[in-house]
Copies of this chain bind each other. A is one copy, B any other.
Amino acid sequence: MNTLYHYPLSPYSRKVRLCLAEKKIEVGLVEERYWEQSPEFLRRNPAAKVPVLKMNGRIMSESTAICEYLEDVQPTPPLMPRDAEGRYEMRRLIGWFDDKFYHEVTSKLTGERVYRKVMGRGYPDSANVKAGARAIKFHLDYMAHLLENRRWLAGNDMTLADFAGAAHLSCLDYTSDVDWNRHEVVKDWYAKIKSRPAFRSLLADEVPGFQPAAHYADLDF
């Protein structure tokens, strides 16, 4: 049996969960409070991050490396463009979300509102929350700019870049931090990806002490 060590509101875990589900690779989910750095978990991943995938006896970390590996060993359905330019654009956007978007938005909103509390580090830093709330507007505008010319974020086919983006936005949506009325194209894109069977497990997540937004699991939000 394959196992994914994850944390429900980890965007990196969610990206891998979406990838596994689209490729119909079954995994058991094990919630890992990775910041507690249990010796057993550190043995699996000295980087002390989630997700960690145990598959066919291999233990793998680094979410993007995992997704590219899954694409290599199970190419159906394809989640990457076939041409070099398309793959570049997909990888650029995964980098955009997992580095820039994470540091400017996810870490400042989900990080402050949820992680800080579950990690026992006190109350949200309001300056960070304000900075995150400001930054997400710029990012939603950028996504709209992309989606006005393409059906999906990296081109006309759904790719791992959409999973990276949706992974972050779904965490932010859990705490009502996404203004879906800002751009109809972004809302339409999220509605499309949210209605996929692969998304169901994410919509069922619950973090004790944090109720998801009323519309969080609603496909007609």
A64 at the interface (CB under 8 A from B): yes
Residues 149 to 196 of chain A near chain B (Cβ within 8 Å):
none
Q: Judge whether A84 and B65 touch: CB under 8 Å.
A: no
Minimal beta-carbon separation of A105 from chain B (angstroms) = 13
A88 at the interface (CB under 8 A from B): yes
Q: Judge whether A92 and B61 touch: CB under 8 Å.
A: yes
A137 at the interface (CB under 8 A from B): no
- Given A72-B84, A73-B84, A84-B73, the answer on whether A65 and B47 have CB atoms closer than 8 Å is no
Minimal beta-carbon separation of A220 from chain B (angstroms) = 32
Residues 39 to 97 of chain A near chain B (Cβ within 8 Å):
46-47, 49, 58, 60-62, 64-66, 68-69, 72-73, 84-85, 87-88, 91-92, 94-96
Measured in the bound complex, the distance between the Cα atoms of B100 and A31 in whole Å is 22
Residue in chain B with minimal CB distance to A68: B91
Measured in the bound complex, the distance between the Cα atoms of B91 and A100 in whole Å is 19
